[in-house]
Amino acid sequence: MNKREFLKDAILFFPAASVLPSLVAEAVANAEEGPATTGYDAAKHWYGMGIDVGKCIGCNRCVEACKAENDVPDEPFYFRTWIERYRIHSDGEVEVECISTRSAPPEQAEPEDPTVVRTFFVPKLCNQCAHPPCVQVCPVGATFQTQDGVVLVDATRCIGCRYCIQACPYGARYLNPKTKTADKCTFCYHRITEGLLPACVEVCPTEARIFGDLDAHADRLVRFHRVNEISVLKPDLNTEPKVLYARLDGEVR
């Protein structure tokens, strides 16, 4: 290409480039309108979950349902939600075991340990923090909070650097081995926006999990919040979790 040709092309290119802004504006407008298909308005909700620790029987059905609903890898160390067994001994030692990593309950009931003072199950999942540390640390802006308070991961932007996995104080994220991107609980975003319950809440046999909208006037979760003494995990970190625990033992971390 000689100088003359280059200048000719450049003169033609710049008028053509002037349509660029209008194209961009159109794309942005489309994106901001959101999906036109449903009448769902994210600004009207602020989702949370209530967990009554005194009701959890540690049956693991929530973990299985979550895996089935969200294509979480089957290997027993990838979880969006999992259950921990706490055993508190008389000498103050706290023993924590993730029972969701076991493929089947043990054949023989474990012998009763007389030093155990208290023992119970605690379901865990992403706390959907109002001030999420994982969002702050993401170097490419792939994880963000939606208007209805759910923290999502944009798998097309995530570069799999694992910063967010390190940053989460609750250990709620994992790197999906198939997509090589960070993955986490979304409160089953595809279900709740359709008016259904998250899969774990749907199958919980003892109603240990309650899902709802913290902004609503009348809602099961609002009632749960009102009638129970509520604790959250690691309140000192000021992450403001939206997973509210009732009857939570002080030893739970």
Partner 1 sequence: MKLPEQVTRLGTVIGAIVAIVLLLRFVVLPDSFFSATPHQAATVEREMAKPIRHAGVAACRDCHAEQFDLKYGGRHRNIGCENCHGPAAGHVAEPEAEASMPPLPREREKCLACHAYDSSRPNGFPQVDPKEHRPNKKCVSCHDPHDPVPPKAPQDCAGCHGRIQQTKALSTHASVACLACHVVDERHMTEPRLALPTKPDSREVCGRCHAAGSGDPDASSRVVDLAAHGGTYVCWECHYAHLPEGRK
**Maximal C-alpha separation, the chain:** 92
- Chain-centre distance of CA 225, in angstroms? 20
Whether residue 192 contacts residue 185, with contact meaning beta carbons closer than 8 Å, is answered with: no
Provide, rounded to whole angstroms, the least separation between the CB of residue 209 and partner 1: 11
Q: Does 58 bind partner 1 (CB under 8 A)?
A: yes
State the Cα–Cα distance between residues 226 and 245, nearest whole angstrom: 12
At 32, list the tokens: 């901001």
Provide, rounded to whole angstroms, the least separation between the CB of residue 156 and partner 1: 8
State the Cα–Cα distance between residues 244 and 95, nearest whole angstrom: 23
* Contacting residue, 1, 16, 104, 218, with partner 1 by CB under 8 A: 104
At 33, list the tokens: 């309108």
Provide, rounded to whole angstroms, the least separation between the CB of residue 18 and partner 1: 8
- Chain-centre distance of CA 25, in angstroms? 32
Number of residues that bind partner 1 (CB under 8 A): 64
Q: Which C-beta is closer to partner 1: that of 24 or that of 238?
A: 24
Provide, rounded to whole angstroms, the least separation between the CB of residue 69 and partner 1: 5
- Chain-centre distance of CA 43, in angstroms? 19
Q: Does 146 bind partner 1 (CB under 8 A)?
A: yes
Three-class secondary structure of residue 243 per DSSP: strand
Q: Does 54 bind partner 1 (CB under 8 A)?
A: yes
* Contacting residue, 49, 63, 65, 185, with partner 1 by CB under 8 A: 65
DSSP β-bridge partners for residue 151: 145
Tell which positions 165-224 bind partner 1, by CB under 8 A: 186, 189-191, 193-194, 196-197, 199, 202-207
Q: Does 144 bind partner 1 (CB under 8 A)?
A: yes
Tell which positions 32-51 bind partner 1, by CB under 8 A: 32, 34-35, 38, 40, 42
